Amino acid sequence: MRLVNRIGLDGLSAITSRAMNDRIPFGRFFLPGPTEVPFDLFEAMLRPVAGHRSAEVTKVVAGLQVDASRLFRTDRPVFLSTSSATGMMEAAITNLTHKRVLCLSCGSFSHRFFDIAQATGRAADLMEADWGDPNLPETLRERLAADPGRYDLVTVVHSESSTGVLNPIMDLAAVVNEFEDVLIAVDTVSSLSGARVLTDEWGLDFVLAGSQKALALPPGLALAVASERALERASEVENRGFYFDLLKFEKNIEKSQTPNTPAVSLLFALERQLTRIMAEGLEARCVRHEEMAQRTCAWVDEVSARTGKPYRVLAPEGYRSPCVTVIMLPDGLSGPEVVARVKSHGYTVAAGYGRLKESSFRIGHMGEHTIDELEALLAILDEVL
C-alpha cells in the first residue's frame, strides 16, 4: 500500500503489467479450470476495497447486473456468491429438494449433485449415463413417467468437464416441464459464455456457474439465477441452511447487495470482464469456442491417421462441449505422461479426471483463448506425442 501511495495506482499497474509481460507468457495455460485470466482483470482488482453496503459497491453490483442477466439470457437478477461453484450446487439441492431429487449423472461433476444430496440428507436417486455419453431426454421422460410425483427436482450438468460431453439442456428441460411441480437445476460451470445458455426460453429454474472457467476470472465467485418458481419452492423448504439460503440472496440482490461480505475485488474484476464479453458479443464468443472445439477434434483425427494409433475424442459427435475436449490415449501412453511432456515446453493441459486420469488427457479451450493460441498448443502436442 505504501508503494501505491507513492507512485499511484496507474504507476503500480504499469510496473506489474511490464513484470507480468516479461515473466508470464500468455496463451499457454489450457486447464479446463481454472483458466487463464487476462491481466487487466488483476488490474481491476487493484481498486481499493470499499464496504459492500457502500454506494460505491452497490453501484458496481447494480451496473454489472445488466450484463450478468444477459449472460444467462434471463430477466431475473443474478446472485453473486463468494464461494466456488460447488457452493451454488449445494444451494440447488438444499433449497429446491422438498420430496426427492433425481440427479442426472454422466461424469464426475454431475455426480456431485447426488453426493451433495447424500451429504445433506436429502432423498435422492441417480439416473446415470456411461462416462462419455450424454443424458438423454427419452430416458428422463421414462424415468419421470414411471412414478409421477416421486421427484420434485432434477439436476443436470451442461458441459461435463470430466468427459467433454455437452448435454442437450433445451430438450431435457422440455421433458422436465412436461411434469407438474418438477424443477430443473443446471450446472453451467464450464459452459456459461462459451456455449449458449437460454435460461428463460428453455424454462430453467436454477442455473449456476463459477468464475474460473469460460468466464476467465480468478476463482472465488459463483453466479446463479433462480426462477420465481424456484424461490417459491425454497420458501416451502425448512432446513435450507444459512450461507446458501436463496431467499437471502434474492432479498439482498433487490438492493444490489449480497447476504454477507462478498469478495469485493472479484466483483470489480467481474464488472470489467462482463464489459469485455459483451464487447466481443455473446454469439461471437460461442462461435469462437465452437471453432476451437472443432479444430481440436479435427486435430485428433489427424494425429490418429498420421501415427496409426487410436487417439479419439471421448464425447460422441453432436454432444461435444465447445469448452473442453477429452482425448482418449492409445495403450502405452498415460494422461500424466502427456501433461509432463507438454509442461516441458511451457504449456499446461490436464490429465483425465478421476477414473479417466490414466487413459486420457483434457484440453480446456475456453475463456479468452484464440484459435492461434490453440494451434500453437497443438503444434507442441504434435511434437511430444
* Residue range at the interface with ligand PLP (CB under 6 A); choices 10-18, 59-67, 82-90, 93-101: 82-90
- Per DSSP, what are the bridge partners of residue 154? 102, 184
Contact yes or no for 204/227 (Cβ under 8 A)? yes
Please tell me whether residue 85 binds ligand PLP under the rule CB under 6 A. yes
Strand order in 324-328's β-sheet? 312-313, 324-328, 360-364, 350-351
Q: Which amino acid is at 300?
A: V
Cβ count within 10 A of residue 255: 11
Q: Which amino acid is at 33?
A: G
Kindly state the smallest distance separating residue 173's Cβ from ligand PLP, in Å: 17
Kindly state the smallest distance separating residue 110's Cβ from ligand PLP, in Å: 7
Angle at 37 between CA 42 and CA 27, to 5 degrees: 130
Kindly state the smallest distance separating residue 263's Cβ from ligand PLP, in Å: 13
Query: Cell numbers of 36, please?
Result: 487463464
Please tell me whether residue 189 binds ligand PLP under the rule CB under 6 A. yes
If the CB atoms of residues 210 and 259 are measured against ligand PLP, the closer one turns out to be 210
Nearest to 90 by CA among 110, 120, 111: 120
Under rule CB under 6 A, which residues in 284-313 are in contact with ligand PLP?
none
Please tell me whether residue 86 binds ligand PLP under the rule CB under 6 A. yes
Q: Which of 44, 71, 157, 176 binds ligand PLP (CB under 6 A)?
A: 157
If the CB atoms of residues 74 and 163 are measured against ligand PLP, the closer one turns out to be 163
Q: Which of 29, 31, 33, 360 binds ligand PLP (CB under 6 A)?
A: 33
Please tell me whether residue 134 binds ligand PLP under the rule CB under 6 A. no
Kindly state the smallest distance separating residue 323's Cβ from ligand PLP, in Å: 9
If the CB atoms of residues 135 and 161 are measured against ligand PLP, the closer one turns out to be 161
* Residue range at the interface with ligand PLP (CB under 6 A); choices 53-61, 184-192, 267-275, 309-317: 184-192
* Residue range at the interface with ligand PLP (CB under 6 A); choices 167-175, 185-193, 341-349, 361-369: 185-193
Q: Which CA distances in Å does 43 have to 28, 266, 267, 268?
A: 20, 11, 12, 9
Nearest to 193 by CA among 361, 35, 81: 35
If the CB atoms of residues 63 and 87 are measured against ligand PLP, the closer one turns out to be 87
Q: Which residues neighbour 206 within 8 Å (Cβ) at sequence distance 6 or greater? A: 91, 92, 96, 183, 184, 185, 186, 224, 225, 226, 227, 230
Please tell me whether residue 210 binds ligand PLP under the rule CB under 6 A. yes
* Residue showing cell 504449456: 347
Please tell me whether residue 356 binds ligand PLP under the rule CB under 6 A. no
If the CB atoms of residues 144 and 215 are measured against ligand PLP, the closer one turns out to be 215
Query: Cell numbers of 100, please?
Result: 426427492
In the complex, which residues of this chain contact ligand PLP (CB under 6 A)? 33, 84-86, 109, 157, 159, 161, 187, 189-190, 210, 213
